Structure 1
Amino acid sequence: MRTNTIVTLGPASMQPEILRQLAEQGVRIFRLNFSHGDAAYFSSTVAAIRDLEGEIGHPLTIMADLCGPKIRIGELPGSPVHIAQGTRAMLGPSTLQTRFDPDTVYFSLDMPEVLNGLQEGMPVYLSDGMLRFEVVQVHEPDRLFELEARNRGIVTSHKGIAFPGKEHKLSALTDKDRRDLDEAVELGVDAVALSFVQDRQDIMEAREAIARHRTWIPVVAKLERKSAVDNLESILAVADAVMVARGDLGLECPLATLPVLQKRIIRACRHAQKAVIVATQMLLSMVSNPVPTRAETTDVANAVLDGADCVMLSEETAVGEYPVEAVQFIREITESAETYFLERVQGPYPPKKEHNPAKYLAYAATLIAENMKAKALVSHSTSGMTARLLSSRRPALPVYALTPEQRVVRALNFFWGVRPRLADERIDNHLERVQEFVQRSQDFEPGESVILTSGQPTPGQTKIHTNEIKVYYK
């Protein structure tokens, strides 16, 4: 299995025995959703995962997913309210709600700054896009608006509200997120996912908050805003991974464009050697059904065929009735899709025409490995960059990544086809470390060949980087 599965933990999956079954199915990344809990709530689960990691002998990654500035309406009088097509409603700050009689449908906001720049003709969506309105009159610029429903449905208090295509000048880190981030880092999580990212500055703020703890963990940028897609290149320059969060992104962008957006984002991430996660409603029917729908299996397979590093389960494993079965199904789907993916690409991806010796060294290593029918690629890298470069070529062979940094070991779980291992620091020479690993590993039989990559200092070299490829026979 090369495509990684991320599972969201919740009441259905936080028990140690369920965690063990998930790990036995190949799960290496566990998501803690801080929209539904805090560090204290997750502390025993983190301890259970660390115990399990020691027992199974594989690195397990814990990702804290912060809530971000989710925009919701306030208390709605008479909730739930039935909305007919053509219904008029008012939208504005909660301080103006008393102007209107109880029969008026009034959507109040505690963050009225998001209304700045809203104009007549702009769309407004509620209840995850199930209810769609249009601004028909601006009563007070940036403050009070009249809406008209374009379809019918039911809306309740505190539902999410979206303004497709409109940029909001809100930091991705709320005060709650800052507290959660500090507590999550102290708890010992291995990665943090940042919700509602809009530009690179959001990532830098998260990095600075993490650095204050005198540590480093990867930051995952969740793409849920159109502005984030527009700023993808600059976000990729500073983020460690990207999540295609199709729920909110599907509200910001026309639904018909979402499949192509997914493909473009995945391709951009691979070219930048950044991991990409596809999330939202992968096997949603399995919340209450023991098998997925045909459309869901096709959706998961298409994410793999697009080149995703990870696919993520949310409600399916957090609150669903069949968390282990959902993981079993997604594993079977990804393995089947990977077989066709490798048939279709017919060899490692060549780099773009650019001056990038490290990328070309990685490409050369994958070509040699496949031509020789080697058993695997084995790399040594302190930062994990070499493994990321090898992974981005999408070789058919597994990539074993040795690093002396435990944080990097767990970060590499996000990358396609990578099997991270902790390097033996008792051996000084990097190449000797890799050779000793091959000799000791039961994954390789005597006489089998592997391709080794490492960085060895040479005279005049100011910075150690990958500069050696070796054919090695056990």
Structure 2
Amino acid sequence: MRTKIIATLGPASMKYDIMKGMVEHGVRVFRLNFSHSDAQAFMPVVADIRRLEVETGIRLTIMGDLCGPKIRIGEVENSPLQINKGQRVLLGLPKYDAEAAGRTFVSLDVPELLEGLGEGDAVFLADGMLRFTVTEVIHPDALFEMRATTEGLLTSHKGIAFPDKIHPLPALTDKDRKDLREGIQLGIDAVALSFVQTADDVYEIKSLIREHGSSIPVVAKLERKRAVENLDSIVEAADAVMVARGDLGVECSLTTLPVIQKRIIRACRHKQKAVIVATQMMLSMVNNPGPTRAEATDVGNAVMDGADCVMLSEETAIGSYPVETCAYIQGIAQNCEPYYLERLGGPYRPSAEKNIVKYLAYSACLVAEHAESAALVSHSTSGSTARVLSSRRPSLPIYALSPDEGALRMLNFFWGVEPRLADRALSSHLERAIAFVRGEASIASGQSVVITSGQAHPPGQTETKTNTIKLFYK
């Protein structure tokens, strides 16, 4: 299985045996959702994950997911309320509650989000299940009348979204800053940043990470319409990207979401950045022992689009069948990946750009396939060579060697990559790679592998870069 599974931990899965079962079915990244807890509460499960690594011999990655500025409404009188299509309600700052005069009043104590709201603008509540259109500006930037265009239940403290507006709020909240600091102290291997809108959001959290003496990678969650508009610069800034289809499907029309997903996946592969497809992958399995046909097809399409990872949320956090859900994902991926590779007809050829690193990776994939090699083996301290190899989508497994544990755990996000710790007793990258091949049981005697490694650099150059491709027979 080349596609990686990210599983969110929660009450249904924060048990050692459950986590072990998920790992056996392809989970390589565990997500800790800081929206519902804090670092101290996660301490026992982090210890269990590290113990699970030792028992299974499989390197596992812990991703802390920051809450971000999720905007919620205040108390709704007589909640829950049935809202009918065409019904008029008021939206405004809490101080205007008295002007409701018996009408339903939705309070929002975030003045910045109401600035510039005008007639005809859309307002979504409850993750888009309730939709309204502004019909009258009663007090500019403060109180509005809205007409419901859908019907459903309105309850207190639900999320609110303004699809047509650019949000002035920063991606990092005070809670996020605290959770980031404590998460790094706890030992998380990566952090997911919610509600990213620009590359500056990513650079800001990277600066904070450095201030805390760490270098963990940043996963940029694309949940805003503005983030899609700034896709290229965000992909450039981030280490990985998440297609967070829940809020993104509220901000953007659902009719455009499938194409947006494909564009994001393609942009990430071109930049050798991991891409995660998330939200409602197998939501029905929260309560049912099997997915719907549509869910199975959705997961399969994400795999055949070339996603590096698929992420499970409620399915593993609160669902009744966390291990079974992972098993279904694994089975779908194992059936879809051969078709995906067949359709590619060989590794991706680099575009017309002059990029020697991509061409070296592409050449290594071609040599390995024509030689009918058992695997590709790459050695690099940062893991960058393995990431480029992964972006070419070879049909062979990629064994990525590095002496750096952080780099290895980052590589769990990448398609087809199996991270391995390099033998630090050997100084040469090539020697380390050959030693790994000789000791790897999955590579039989007489089989070949293609090794990519860095050799002696020119005088004056301090960084050793990948510049060697070697066909090696065990």
Which bracket does the TM-score occupy, shorter chain normalised?
over 0.9
Change (3 A) 1:259 1:347: same
What is the SS of the residue equivalent to 2:49? helix
The CA deviation at 1:13 is 0.5
1:77-116 paired onto structure 2 within 5 Å: 77-101=77-101, 103-116=102-115
Match of 1:295 in 2: 294
Shift in alpha-carbon separation, 1:329–1:461, aligned structure 2, 3 A? farther
Residue 338 of structure 1 corresponds to which residue in structure 2?
A: 337
Deviations 1:23-63 (A, max 9, x none): 12221100011111111111100000001111111110000
Partners of 2:421 and 2:248 lie apart in 1 by 37
Taking the aligned partners of 2:3 and 2:130, their CA distance within structure 1 comes to 35
Give the aligned partner of residue 127 of structure 1: 126
Alignment partner of 2:36: what SS? coil
Please give the per-residue CA displacement for 1:334-390, whole angstroms capped at 9, x wherever unaligned. Answer: 111101101110100001111110011000000111111100000001111100000
Kept in 1: contact 2:286–2:321 (CA 8 A): yes
Query: Could you say which residue in structure 2 is the equivalent of 1:13?
Result: 13
2:277 equivalent to 1:278:
yes
Matched position secondary structure for 1:402: strand
Equivalent position of 1:224 in the other structure:
223
Give the match for residue 430 of structure 1. 429
* Count of residues in Structure 1 that have an aligned counterpart in Structure 2: 473
1:262-308 superposed Cα distances (whole Å, 9 cap, x missing partner): 00000000000000000000000000000100000000000011110
Please report how far the alpha carbon of residue 221 of structure 1 lies from its aligned counterpart in structure 2 after TM superposition.
Answer: 0.3
Give 1:152 shift: 1.4
Report the equivalent of 1:38.
Answer: 38
Q: Deviations over 1:385-420 (max 9, x none)?
A: 100000000000000000111000000000000000
Provide, for residues 189-244 of structure 1, a one-character-per-residue CA deviation record: whole Å limited to 9, x for no partner: 00000110000111111111111121111100000000001111111111000000
CA deviation map 1:103-150 (0-9, x unaligned): 221111121211122121011111111111001111222222111111
Q: SS of 1:28's equivalent?
A: strand
The 1-side partners of 2:460 and 2:12 are apart by 53
1:305 corresponding residue in structure 2:
304
Aligned counterpart, 2:23: 23
Matches within 5 A, 1:66-465: 66-101=66-101, 103-460=102-459, 462=461, 463-465=463-465
Distance 1:441 1:354, change over 3 A: same
Give the Cα separation in 2 of the matches to 1:244 and 1:347. 26
Once residues 142 and 455 of structure 2 are traced to their aligned partners in structure 1, the CA distance between those partners, rounded to angstroms, is 62
Identity in percent: 61
User: How far off its partner does 1:464 sit?
Assistant: 1.8
1:203 and 1:100 map into 2 onto residues whose CA distance is 41
CA–CA separation in structure 1 for the residues paired with 2:397 and 2:216: 24
Give, in whole Å, the separation in 1 of the partners of 2:380 and 2:97: 59
Measured against aligned partners, the alpha-carbon deviations of 1:234-258 in whole angstroms (never above 9, x if no partner) come to: 1111100000000100001010000
In structure 2, give the amino acid aligned to 1:170: L
**Number of the residue aligned with 1:468:** 468
TM-superposition CA deviations, 1:60-114 (whole Å, max 9, x none): 000011111011110011111111111111111122223333x221111121211
Superposition deviation, residue 461 in structure 1: 6.3
One-letter amino acid of the counterpart of residue 366, structure 1: C
The whole-number CA distance in structure 1 between the counterparts of 2:129 and 2:21 is 36
Secondary structure, counterpart of 2:75 in structure 1: coil
Q: Aligned equivalents of 2:347 and 2:242: distance in 1?
A: 24
In 2: Cα distance, 1:461 partner to 1:280 partner: 49
Asked whether the 8 Å contact 2:457–2:465 carries over to 1, the reply is no
Mapped to 1, the partners of 2:383 and 2:320 lie a distance apart of 37
CA distance in 2, matches of 1:3, 1:71: 33
SS at match of 1:269: helix
Matches of 2:199 and 2:457 in 1, distance apart? Answer: 36
Distance (whole Å) between structure 2 residues aligned to residue 119 and residue 461 of structure 1: 61
- Structure 2 gap ranges (5+): none
Local SS of the residue matching 2:256? helix
Q: Matches of 1:289 and 1:230 in 2, distance apart?
A: 37
TM-score (ref. length: structure 2): 0.98
User: How far apart are the structure 1 equivalents of 2:358 and 2:420?
Assistant: 22
- CA-CA distance at 1:184 after TM superposition: 0.6
In structure 1, C-alpha distance between the alignment counterparts of 2:227 and 2:10, rounded to whole Å: 28
Query: In 2, Cα distance between the equivalents of 1:60 and 1:399?
Result: 17
Match of 1:54 in 2: 54
Q: Secondary structure at the match of 2:466?
A: coil
Counterpart secondary structure, 1:470: strand
How far apart are the structure 2 equivalents of 1:107 and 1:396?
54
Instruction: Measure, in 1, the Cα distance between the counterparts of 2:94 and 2:375.
Output: 61
CA distance in 2, matches of 1:419, 1:62: 16
CA distance in 1, matches of 2:224, 2:458: 48
Q: Please state whether the residue corresponding to 1:302 is helix, strand or coil.
A: helix
What is the match of residue 63 of structure 2? 63
2:69, 2:47 → 1: CA distance? 29
1:21 and 1:33 map into 2 onto residues whose CA distance is: 20
Aligned residue for 2:311, secondary structure, equals strand
C-alpha distance in structure 1 between counterparts of 2:292 and 2:85, whole Å: 31
Check conservation: 2:90, 2:100, Cα contact below 8 A: no
Taking structure 1 as the reference length, the TM-score comes to: 0.98
Q: CA deviation at 1:459?
A: 2.9
C-alpha separation in 2, matches of 1:330 and 1:174: 34
Structure 1 residue 427, shift from structure 2 partner: 0.3
* 1:164 maps to amino acid: P
CA distance in 1, matches of 2:458, 2:185: 42
Q: CA RMSD in A?
A: 0.9
- Structure 1: which amino acid aligns with 2:143? L
Amino acid at match of 1:76: V
